[in-house]
Amino acid sequence: MKINSQVKWDYVSLFSCIQSPEEIPVVWGARDDATVRTLIDFLLMQPQRRNPPDFKWAAATQRSDAAVVATASTMLGSGLYWSIDHDTASRPYLLIGVSPGDVVLRRKGLTTLNHSYIREYLSGERSDRKTPYNEVHRIPAGVFAVWSSIDTPPEETEWSGPDVWAEPYLEGRDARESYLNIFDATIARLIDGNAPLASMLSGGLDSSFVVATLARMTTPDRPVHAFVHAPHPDARLSAIGNCDPDDSAFAKKMETAHPGSVVVTKVINTDLVQPQDAALRAARRSWLPSFNPGNQIWIDAIAEQAAAIGAPMLFSGQKGNAAFSHEHSYAASYYLQHGRLDQLAKMVFSRADSNISVYQSARKRVLGPLIRPWRSQKNNPNAEYKKLIGAPDSAKVNGSSQSQGRRYFLEWLSQSYSALLAADCPAGWIVPVADPFTASAVLALAASITPYQWLQGPYPRGYARSLGEGRVPDEIRLRTRRGGQAWDTWFVIRNQRERYLDELELVHRSPGLGGWVDTSEMKKRAEQWPWGEIHGPSQIEVIALDRLLSLAAFARMTEERLKTICITERSTSG
């Protein structure tokens, strides 16, 4: 039916709630009246292509034609959640929120668990419109959603993403200067008054670049408090391949490079917080499952320390992989498909480092990337993971990888698929998190840089290394080894044999997973693990089991939650 004056439109937000239908505009996350006015104007003028203010915000309003329009910043990776419900007179109304739980709690009708979402989540598949709840839907960040009728899904128009980004054109000095200027301007806008500065940090390029930029904008009387995860010292971890189990020593080099302006603190799980407990606590906050329980331990610990020093937000560089340090290995096939042999020649001959020969450049940048997708089909880590968790063959992921093409890269860059991470939901975090790599201006700039421009010198992630020159210490900037995260998970759970075996027994009784996942092989493996010993099974086995058990626990907890809400609503209305 068409909208009329009798239809009730109700907007929900995590921190503000419209009680009166006459108060039409709703903005969450804006810091002042001017920003609120800018965001409402941005909504009413859609789909005009321009960038609104960058921070975690969401806005909704009703236009003069009675249509409702809403959108969320790209820095609010979770996007928006919406649902159609009915009041006591059976009149439909729209709920919009920044947290799925907030929408669920405001619904008067029955809310049910989405079993297909649970299965897809376990398999690592990406579903950018689904949520764990059949009656609650998602709008990705960077998209205008317009409800002209309450009984049809909203029309969507992208304002930040592949459909509006132009073909890449920036290169050379223009690309470098533009990137640095826009990134600096983004962080300058995010710094809040004179409040303490807090940031996540690792020994890698992305977070180090964020911390280094913050350090350039502050003074020793207001240092950047950088928190780095480090494994438990008794775990006796050793390097595996090209990865180090502990890169906190590299993070400490940021303190030396920026004396007085950067203070690095190690965050270690000395209390042996269990990954299953951390995942369940995060799920209770966000109403979403936690994809990596081991990481959830140190993510929460860092957020707690940031809150303890009075920081109003926590800076992060977790999403830098797409917007800053992606290798753009699709470049050769992209140029071949477009018949751009001139660009292929640039890829080979524009070598930023004289130590790499023309032959090496052609082999590394053109021939290697062209055959890499075929090789990845032969050795797909997804297949090993899915075999470990006992997911049926029909659910196997189609070998998707960042090397598949530019469109895939742009969709990844746009943050459309970030619903996999519970922490992206504002309710999932203990303090607000700001990742400058997800600002719409930074995303648009990254999309405008030509693919071959990212291929610099003899190192992988070459463009990020060139952008970090003069900011990030060379020991970090030119580092080719990677740091491990939560590698001490086995050490933390090694004495929890009975708990894990008991949890495995509960999987078949977990909504969405019972009868779908065959845990028999996982049980055999878990029973044979060297419980109680310092050294345990492979890391991927531990990750697979933790993910399976935490998702099963989420499904059980959520179904009970929904039943309780239903009973409470009925008793209240009765």
Could you list the pLDDT tens digit for every one of the 574 residues in the chain? 233 333 344 444 433 333 334 446 788 888 788 888 888 888 888 656 566 888 889 998 888 787 888 999 999 988 999 999 888 888 888 899 999 998 999 998 899 999 999 988 888 776 788 999 999 999 999 999 999 888 789 999 999 999 999 889 998 899 999 999 999 999 999 997 889 999 999 988 999 999 999 999 998 899 999 999 999 999 999 888 888 889 899 999 999 999 999 999 999 999 999 999 999 999 999 999 998 999 999 999 999 999 999 999 999 998 999 999 998 888 888 888 877 877 777 776 665 555 666 656 665 566 556 555 544 444 455 667 777 777 775 444 444 443 468 888 999 899 776 655 667 788 889 999 999 999 999 999 999 999 988 887 777 888 999 999 999 999 999 988 888 889 999 999 999 999 999 999 999 999 999 888 888 888 999 999 999 999 999 988 999 999 999 999 999 999 999 999 877 664 555 4
Backbone φ, ψ for residue 70 (5° rounding): -145, 155
Place of tokens 């004289």: 354
pTM of the model: 0.89
CA dihedral (339, 340, 341, 342) in degrees, to 10, reads: 160
Element (H, E) at 504: helix 497-506
- Residue 293 has a pLDDT of 94
Calpha distance 244→230 (Å, rounded): 11
The CATH superfamily holding the domain 172-325+405-483 is HUPs (3.40.50.620)
Helix, coil or strand: residue 78: coil
Predicted pLDDT of residue 294: 95
Other residues' Cβ atoms within 10 Å of the Cβ of residue 15: 11
Look-up of token digits 């968790």 = 389
What pLDDT does 13 receive?
A: 43
Give the DSSP H or E segment for 84: strand 80-86
Q: What is the pLDDT of residue 19?
A: 38
- Please give the full DSSP string across 121-186, using - where no structure is assigned: HHHT---SS--SBTT-EEE-TTEEEEESBTTSPPEEEESSSTTTSPPP-B-HHHHHHHHHHHHHHH
> Which amino acid belongs to residue 183?
F
Residues written for the chain = 574
CA–CA separation, 509 and 511 (whole Å): 7
For residue 240, the cross-strand partners are: 243
Give 2's DSSP letter: B
What does the pLDDT read at residue 348?
67
**Domain range list for the chain:** 8-158, 172-325+405-483, 331-382, 495-533+537-573
- Nearest-angstrom CA–CA distance, 83 and 150: 10
| The three-state (H, E, C) secondary structure of 225-253, written as one string | EEEEECCCHHHCCCCECCEECCCHHHHHH
Centre a 10 Å sphere on the Cβ of residue 307 and count the other Cβ atoms it contains: 15
d(CA 428, CA 572): 28
Cα dihedral 416→419→421→427 (10° resolution)? 120
